[in-house]
Amino acid sequence: MTTDLTSAHGVVGTPLPLDALSAVPKTDEPQKPKDYTSDQEVRWCPGCGDYVILATIRALLPKLGLKRENITFISGIGCSSRFPYYLETYGMHSIHGRAPAIATGLVTTREDQSVWVVTGDGDAMSIGGNHLIHTLRRNVNLNILLFNNRIYGLTKGQYSPTSETGKVTKSSPMGSLDHPFNTMSLALGAEGTFIARALDSDRKGLTEVLDAAARHRGTSFVEILQDCPIFNDGSFDLLRKEDAGNHLIPVRHGEKIIFGDEGQHCVIRKGFSLAVAATADVDPDDIIVHDAHTDDPTYANALANLSSHDLQYTVTGIIRQVQRDTYDDLARQQVAHAKETNPADLQALIDGPNTWTVD
C-alpha cells in the first residue's frame, strides 16, 4: 500500500510506502533468538522485568526476517538503557532523554534501518519529555519502547513522573505530591499514530504488540509495565494476581471489549466517555467494539482514560493505529525534489561562502 504526497507538504509525486520495513534489507537465512544474543553479561537485578522484555525481543526479531546489520537499538539513560548491549545488532547507548532525537537523525538518513528506542519512565517522561512528544508529533518511522516501573531505578529509588500520588521514596519521604502522567493520554495528545500497552509478564500479549509496532510505518509507542524488584517491588501485583482479569482490559481491533475471567465485565459508552459495566446488565449491542483505526482521537482518549493510577482498570493492547505521512519520508522526498528541480542551487547553498564568527 502507498500514499501520495499532497501539495500541502511542499513536495509532489512519488507515493510513499506504508510498510515500516519495506526498505529494510531482508535475509533468506533462517534466524533464531540466539543469533540476536550478544556476548555481553546481562547486568540487571534478579527478578527485573527487563529480562522478560529482552527475551521477548530476541524471539521476535528473527520473525521479522531482517538482516541484523539493518537493525539498530538506541537508548538513553537508566536500567532499561543497557538494552543495546545485550542484542547482536547495531546499537547506541546515548544521553539522558535524547534517544528519540538521535534516532530521528538516523531514520531520516538511513531508510534501510529498523530503528528502536529503548527508554524508561524517567528518561522519557522527565528530561526527555520534549523529545518524546515531538517525535510522536512528527511521526518518525521508529519504535519507542517505554519501560515503565514507576520509579527511578538506576539512581536508587526516587519517584518518577509515573509514580502514584503519595508515593514514599528517597526523594519524597512524606509522599509524592505530583500527579502522575497518563502515558497513553500523553501520547495521544501528541497525535501518535500507534499507541499500545503491554505487561511484561504477558509474553503473548507483549509479542503481539511488538510485532505490530515493528511493522507500523510511523512512530510506534509501546508502554511496557514492568517490575523493579529492588526499589518498587510489586508495583503491578494487582495485575498479576488471581483476580487480575477483573482489572486488565485487553483490547483487540474489531472485537467487543469484554473482560474478566468469565467475561463478566464490559465497556460501554457513557455520555461522551466510556465506562465499565457488568456484562449481564447491559444490552449486548451497547458493548463497545474496539476500533483502533478510527482517525478521531476522541474514542482512543476515552479508552486511555479508563486506566487509573490505582490500577483498578488497566487497558492493554493496541489502543490506536492509524496512518499518516512520516517525517523522514517527507524529508527525503523534499531533498530529492530539490535536487531534481534545482540541483545547481542546492549545491551552491551547500558550498556557499556564508559563514559566521562566534566571539
Entry pTM: 0.91
Structural domains in the chain, sorted by start = 2-351 (3.40.50.970)
- Condensed to tens digits (0 to 9), the pLDDT of residues 291-341 reads 999 998 999 999 999 999 999 999 999 999 999 999 999 999 998 888 888
Q: What values do phi and psi take at 228, rounded to 5? A: -110, 100
Count other Cβ atoms within 10 Å, centred on residue 98. Answer: 17
* pLDDT for 17: 55
> Which segments of the chain have a pLDDT < 50?
1-14
First-last CA distance in the chain: 53
SS (H, E, C) 195-233: EEEEECCCHHHHHHHHHHHHHECCCEEEEEECCECCCEC
In order of 94, 249, 256, 280, the CA distances from 302 in angstroms are: 35, 13, 16, 23
